[in-house]
């Protein structure tokens, strides 16, 4: 699809997606930026806004065992293309970081719903839970659980800056660590994953390009160093 196609696709409205992003920023941000730390009231408010929009479309909305939110639009086959990103943020985060991918994916679902015939493949929008890991210093919580790479024994001991244990906090949002394996079934029919994201760099701007395709990226690793003596 080209930029011109996007403006003529049934139901697709890029300006509406921007309005959604601005409303999200006004409801869950402040002068210093976004404040949607995962598992907080501000993050829950962002999720509520997303659910409000999804309720107007013919999609099946489900929260998995890791707290990820999924919205499924059925196509003519069970092969599924997943689009999405994350609504949680770091403290004073950028208004487009993560949220752009979720609201862009929401607009894709609107376009599919407005089309006269269903797509060949099914589509799913996902909002990954605790992608940033800003509260418990463990990023990619929800996506790692789905991929089967989350070490439950490690995250079970994590505390936030206020001394709250991760298992207690996530339980308030319907997440039970001992049941996380159940979310791995979400990948059974997935044939592709696409994520729209801000560049977080200067290259596209310098080149005068509106969008680019990522061919590689860096992994995420956290280390804790203790100096004594």
pLDDT in tens, 17-65: 999 999 999 998 878 788 899 999 999 999 999 999 999 999 999 999 9
Q: Give CA angle at 103 (201, 113), nearest 5°.
A: 140
The Cα 179–Cα 59 span in angstroms is 25
Q: Give CA angle at 76 (75, 81), nearest 5°.
A: 45
pLDDT in tens, 155-205: 999 999 999 999 999 999 999 999 999 999 999 999 999 999 988 889 999
pLDDT bracket for residue 1 (50, 70, 90): very low
The Cα 12–Cα 9 span in angstroms is 6
> Does CATH number 3.40.630.10 belong to domain 3-198?
yes
pLDDT in tens, 57-116: 999 999 999 999 999 999 999 999 999 999 999 998 888 899 999 999 999 999 999 999
Domain ranges of the chain: 3-198
């Amino acid at each position: 699809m080209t930029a011109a196609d996007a403006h003529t696709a049934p139901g697709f409205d890029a300006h509406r997606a921007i309005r959604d992003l601005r409303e999200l920023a006004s409801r869950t941000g402040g002068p210093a930026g976004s404040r949607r730390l995962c598992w907080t009231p501000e993050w829950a408010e962002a999720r509520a806004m997303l659910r409000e929009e999804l309720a107007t479309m013919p999609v099946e909305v489900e929260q998995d065992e890791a707290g990820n939110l999924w919205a499924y639009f059925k196509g003519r086959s069970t092969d599924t293309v997943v689009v999405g990103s994350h609504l949680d943020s770091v403290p004073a985060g950028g208004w487009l970081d993560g949220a752009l991918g979720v609201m862009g994916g929401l607009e894709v679902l609107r376009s599919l719903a407005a089309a006269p015939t269903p797509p060949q493949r099914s589509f799913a929008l996902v909002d990954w839970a605790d992608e940033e890991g800003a509260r418990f210093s463990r990023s990619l919580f929800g996506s790692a659980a789905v991929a089967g790479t989350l070490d439950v024994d490690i995250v079970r001991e994590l505390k936030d800056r206020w001394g709250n244990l991760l298992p207690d906090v996530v339980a308030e949002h319907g997440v039970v660590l001992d049941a996380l394996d159940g979310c791995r079934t979400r990948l059974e029919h997935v044939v592709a994953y696409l994520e729209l994201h801000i560049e977080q760099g200067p290259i596209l701007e310098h080149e005068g390009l509106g969008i680019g395709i990522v061919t590689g990226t860096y992994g995420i690793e956290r280390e804790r160093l203790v100096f004594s003596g």
